[in-house]
Amino acid sequence: MESTSIGSDVAARARLGALHALGVLDVHDDPALEALISLAARLSRGDLQVWLRGPVLPLASGGMNVSELQPVTSTSLDLVDPEGRVTLAVGGIDVGELRSRRVSQRALAQVGVEVEAFLELRNRTARHDSRGRPVGVLAVDATFTVVWASPEIAEMGLGGGRDLMQEPALSLVPDSDLETASQLISRSARGTGRSSNIAVPLHTAAGETSMFEVWSENRLADADVGLQLLVIRHAEGRSELALLGDQMYVLNRLSAGEPLGEVLHRVTDLLENRDPSSLACIMEYDPVDDALHPLIAPHLPVPVVGSLIGLRPRPGGPAGSGSFHADVVQMSADVATDPAYADLAPVLTANGIRSCWSIPIRSFTNGEPMGTIDVFRTVAGHPEAAESRVLSLASRLAAIAIDQDTRERELRH
């Protein structure tokens, strides 16, 4: 269980950041890990608990910092002060520890090996897509200069095979798409955690370009990472026609003169029909009281809708609160353990909500923020590439609908 200390080693910090960005450490309540720990605890007749490096947390001062280790498996009592512990490492990087009570050191070490094997499998799986193609990670500093690249980046031929170290990350993007990529970078840099996916062409070998999907994991404020990670994977392409059909369907309803509520209902249908675990809510911003209010949430439980009334935009806030304030997509993989959701978690979890993804709605007319779309899910986790595209599409469609409704009301008066 040898591991590398993080310290000032840029490569070690980047490799830890890559594990976060790829979701390798998002194992809270993972049934396979829970089963492994539960069985080992019964066999050893003691208590065992896995603690891993946790999320980036908001500070009372308005800044951000990384949390201490967080428990990710259940036990009757959190082992804050355990009798025994062993370090857990993935790819040679210290990611946490296995803690115990009334378990021999030999048994603890054996279970630690099994937990590491579980995490290593997640790491290997995350580095390839469903077709077996590599998924690469770039680490960039606050100026978006590349300071580290995973081996998969070279395997993908990004940058034409040249050494990308100390080059601007935007050097991978063709000049014609620099504006789109720059907007993603500026917005993701203002938020924390993972951004939504965007499709963008990138330079590859022999001077060619290919479409890739990119998302960022902002861990600049994480004392153990201090970098931003860009995850790059081959664009799927297979859902684009379906997304176009969904878009045309909603736009047709809009052109047919359906009321705003009906059109927005179609937008929530677009989200919920693609993912049975999703319950969509469109929030409207009221500048008079500086708060967000549910505008339409056809299937969200009434207690959850009630808890969202008057949600004030603020840094690191839950759901649309943080997303609207930072003007970026905000993703919470597990609302039960996310400190940003401390106030909302009781009502959310009581109604079966495990995760939440939020995206701002910005007017195409004047660029002003108008609200958010919040997708509450009954399962934990981050969105896949196709789900992120649908979320972005829904935000654009909602903006078009609200803009048109605003113009029609102004004409009537």
Are 138 and 229 in contact by the 8 Å Cβ rule? The answer is yes
What does the alpha-carbon distance between residue 341 and residue 216 come to, in Å, rounded to a whole number?
22
Per-residue pLDDT of 157-210, as tens digits, reads 897 767 889 999 988 988 877 776 776 666 566 555 566 566 678 888 767 888
Looking at residue 6, its pLDDT comes to 45
313 lies in the same domain as 397 = yes
Per-residue pLDDT of 330-383, as tens digits, reads 889 999 999 999 999 999 999 999 999 999 999 988 888 899 999 999 888 887
Give the H/E segment covering residue 140: strand 136-140
- As given in the structure block, the two tokens for residue 165 are 């170290």
DSSP string, 32-58: HHHHHHHHHHHHHTSEEEEEEE--EEE
Strand partners, 97: 51, 87
Give Cβ neighbours of residue 294 (< 8 Å, ≥ 6 apart): 281, 282, 283, 284, 300, 305, 308, 309
212 lies in the same domain as 336 = no
Looking at residue 281, its pLDDT comes to 96
Q: Domains in the chain: how many in total? A: 3
Looking at residue 99, its pLDDT comes to 94
260 lies in the same domain as 377 = yes
5 located within any domain: no
The residue segments making up the domain with residue 327 are 240-412
285 lies in the same domain as 336 = yes
Looking at residue 253, its pLDDT comes to 66
Q: Determine if the pTM surpasses 0.95.
A: no
358 lies in the same domain as 223 = no
Q: Which residues of the chain have pLDDT under 70?
A: 1-8, 29, 54-68, 76, 161, 180, 183-199, 206, 236-249, 252-253, 255-256, 385-386, 413
What residue has token string 């649309």?
320
Looking at residue 4, its pLDDT comes to 45
Looking at residue 182, its pLDDT comes to 72
10 located within any domain: no
